[in-house]
Structure 1
C-alpha cells in the first residue's frame, strides 16, 4: 500500500515553517510517497476550544485558523524537495472558492516546478470555506462538475483559445498555455461521497479520495460505483486509484487511548461526522438528526460552552469508527480491513499530535505514527 501524510500547514509560535519541516521529516522517516496540504481558511475544530486548557498543541500553534495558502506553501516545499522525490498534493481544494482557470494554472505550475510530482486534490468544498467569504453555496456539486470539466478543457487546449458554455464558469476565447511536464498533467484526485459526486469521479478523476466518517464496507460499495461510472464513460475502471484520507490516533497502551479519546479536542472532531454515523451508535447528532457533518459545519460559530455541551454525548464507538485508533499493530489491523475493501493508497493525518491535552504526549505520538506508515507499506 502506498502512503501519504497530511500536514496542517498552520503558522507556529517560533518559526513560520515549523510544521512543514516536521511533516517533511516525518514523511522521509516513514518512506511516504506524498505530502499533502489542506485548503482551508477556517479549521474544522472550533477555535473556541483551541487553548492550552484543552489541547497541548495550542502552546506551539496559538492561532487555530492561521492556515497557509496551500499552493504557495507547496511551491516552498518543492524548492526543498530535490532529493526526497515526494509527490505534493492539495487535499483538497474547493471548486467554488477558486476559479477553475486559476486552479488549473496553480496545479500546472507546481507540476512543472516539481518535475512532475503535483497532485490536484479537488472537491465541492465545505460551507465554512465558502459561505463566510461570499461564495454561493446553493449548488456545490453542480459547480464542482463544471469546474472539473473546465480544468480538463484548459489543460487539453494546447494554448488555443477555447470557449465553453457554463452556468458557473463560461469561457470566451480563453487561453491556457502553461505546458505539461513531459506530456503529463497533474493527477486529479476527487474527494467524493454522494452518488452524483461518485459518478463524476468515475468520469473525470485519476483517484477517488474520500475523507473519514465511513465504514470499510461502505467504502467498498462506493468504490464499485466509481469504477462502474468509469466503465460507463469508456475508461478503464482499474486505472482509478482507490485512495482515502484518515485521521489517526496512535497510542502506546490502553490508558493512553482513554486519555486521548476522552479529550475535548478528540471528541469535538466527531462533530464532523454526519448524523447518520451518530445514529448508527444510538445517539442523535447534537446539531440535528439531518445534519450532514463536515460539509455544513461552521466551527467558528460555536462558542466554548456550546462545544463542551455537544461533545458530552460522543460515543467511543463512533470515535473508533470515524478515526484509526490504537497501537500501531491495532491500527494496521484496521487498515487491513480497508485494504480488503479495495483501498490502495492511504493518506494519514496524525490527529493525536493536535488534540492531545498534553503537548509532550502529543509530540511523542510521532513515533508510533511513523511505525503505522512503515507497516502500511507491507500490507
Structure 2
C-alpha cells in the first residue's frame, strides 16, 4: 500500500422516487472505486442558490427538485451503517457544526455511531457557516472561540470515564455532567478538523487526528498550513506526524474534455464559485460580487439570492475561477492535478462530485463511471 486513501462525499439530498436513491448510488460507487470512507455533510440548507436550482439550469433538478432538502447527517449515517457490513466503509460527517449542535450531543452521536458501525466512525467538525446558524437564531458571534471550547468539551467528556465533569466555559460550561458511553474497543472516533485560518490551525494541531480543510486553496498554501499544524501539535506535546493530512475536493468530471467544459461553463457551477473568498476571486482578476473582503462559504447566505441577482453574479465568473474552485477534468487530468497535492503533503482526499450540475441529466449522472475511474486511480497515487 502506498498510504494514499480516498473518501466519497454524498450530498444527502432528498430525491424523488426513493428517498435513499442517491445514498445507495454513492455507497455503490465508493465500493466500486475502492474508497476507504463515505461522508455526509451537516447542513440545514444547501450551498447553491435555490433560486436557480431548477431544470432550466441543471439536469439533476429533475431528480432532486429541492436544493435545500438535505437529510440530517447522524440519522443518515446510522441508516448507512446498518447496510455497511459488506462494503465496510468508514463513515464520516463532513463536517458537523460546533455552534448549532451542543458538543455533548455531538459527542454522544459520534460515540453511538462508533459502536453501531463497529469502530468505523469519523467525527468531522468545524465552526460552521453563517447560513446554518444565524437564520435559525443561533448566535454567530465568535465562531472560532466557540469551536475551541466545543472540541475541548468533547474530549473532556470522552476522557471522563463516566465520572461527573465540571468545567468552566464561556459557551459550554459543564456542571456534574455525566458521559458514560464507553469507547469502542478502547478507542473513540477520529476527530477531523476543518481548519483554515491561523487560530483554527492551532486548534487542529492541539486536538485533531486529521486536518480536513475544504477546497479551494493552492497546493503551496496547503503545505505551509500543514507545517503550522504540525508545529502546534509539537508544542502541545503531540506527535505531529500522527495527524493525517486530508482535504475535501469538489470535482467536475466526465469522459470527455468537451463535457467537462460544458460543466465548467454551466450556470450552477459558476454559481458555486460564490462560495470562494474574495481573495480567490482576485487571483482571477475579478472582484467578488459581495465585496473585496468577503470571506466566502463561511458567510454566504445563498437562500437570500434571487434568480436575477444570481444570474448577474454568474456572469462575472471566468472559467479559470471555476477550475480553481473545483478539480475539473477527465479522470486522468484530475489525477495529474491530485499528484501535485500529494507532493505538497495530502495523504487522504475526500471528493464530492458536483458533475450533475451539467444542464443535461444524462451527462450529469453519467459522471458516475468517470468517478469510479477517478477513485481507482487515486488509490495508486
Does TM, scored on the shorter chain, surpass 0.5?
yes
Of 276, 279, 283, 2:279 maps to 276
Report the Cα offset of residue 286 of structure 1: 0.8
Q: Give the whole-Å Cα distance in 2 for the aligned partners of 1:252 and 1:107.
A: 38
- 2:248 aligns to what SS in structure 1? strand
Question: What do residues 51-87 of structure 1 show as CA deviations (whole Å, max 9, x unaligned)?
Answer: 0000100000011111111000000000000111100
Of 359, 365, 368, 1:366 maps to 368
Which residue in 2 is equivalent to 1:196? 199
Which residue in 2 is equivalent to 1:246? 249
Report the Cα offset of residue 116 of structure 1: 0.3
For residues 110-121 of structure 1, the aligned pairs below 5 Å read 110-121=113-124
Q: Give the whole-Å Cα distance in 2 for the aligned partners of 1:53 and 1:169.
A: 46
Of 151, 163, 175, 1:172 maps to 175
Uncovered stretches (5+) of structure 2, i.e. residues with no partner: none
Q: Give the whole-Å Cα distance in 1 for the aligned partners of 2:205 and 2:369.
A: 37
For residues 334-373 of structure 1, the aligned pairs below 5 Å read 334-353=337-356, 355-373=357-375
For residues 308-347 of structure 1, the aligned pairs below 5 Å read 308-347=311-350
Which residue in 2 is equivalent to 1:25? 28
Which residue in 2 is equivalent to 1:232? 235
Q: Give the whole-Å Cα distance in 2 for the aligned partners of 1:256 and 1:68.
A: 30
For residues 12-161 of structure 1, the aligned pairs below 5 Å read 12-161=15-164
Question: What do residues 243-269 of structure 1 show as CA deviations (whole Å, max 9, x unaligned)?
Answer: 000001112223212211111010001
Of 217, 231, 246, 1:214 maps to 217
Which residue in 1 is equivalent to 2:301? 298
Q: Give the whole-Å Cα distance in 2 for the aligned partners of 1:260 and 1:19.
A: 20
Question: What do residues 332-373 of structure 1 show as CA deviations (whole Å, max 9, x unaligned)?
Answer: 0000000000000000011102x1111000011111111111
Partners of 2:92 and 2:122 within 8 A in 1: yes
- 2:380 aligns to what SS in structure 1? coil
Which residue in 1 is equivalent to 2:184? 181
- 1:53 aligns to what SS in structure 2? coil
> What TM-score, normalized to structure 1?
0.99
* Number of aligned positions between the proteins: 378
Uncovered stretches (5+) of structure 1, i.e. residues with no partner: none
Question: What do residues 281-326 of structure 1 show as CA deviations (whole Å, max 9, x unaligned)?
Answer: 1110011100000000000000000000001011211111121111
> What TM-score, normalized to structure 2?
0.98
Q: Give the whole-Å Cα distance in 2 for the aligned partners of 1:326 and 1:19.
A: 23
- 2:67 aligns to what SS in structure 1? coil
Q: Which piece of structure 1 moves more, 326-335 or 248-257?
A: 248-257
Question: What do residues 81-120 of structure 1 show as CA deviations (whole Å, max 9, x unaligned)?
Answer: 0111100000000000000000000000000010100000
- 2:281 aligns to what SS in structure 1? helix
Report the Cα offset of residue 271 of structure 1: 0.2
Partners of 2:7 and 2:35 within 8 A in 1: yes
Moved over 2 A (4+): 251-254
- 2:186 aligns to what SS in structure 1? coil
Q: Which piece of structure 1 moves more, 72-81 or 317-326?
A: 317-326
Q: Give the whole-Å Cα distance in 2 for the aligned partners of 1:368 and 1:24.
A: 15
Q: Give the whole-Å Cα distance in 2 for the aligned partners of 1:102 and 1:254.
A: 46
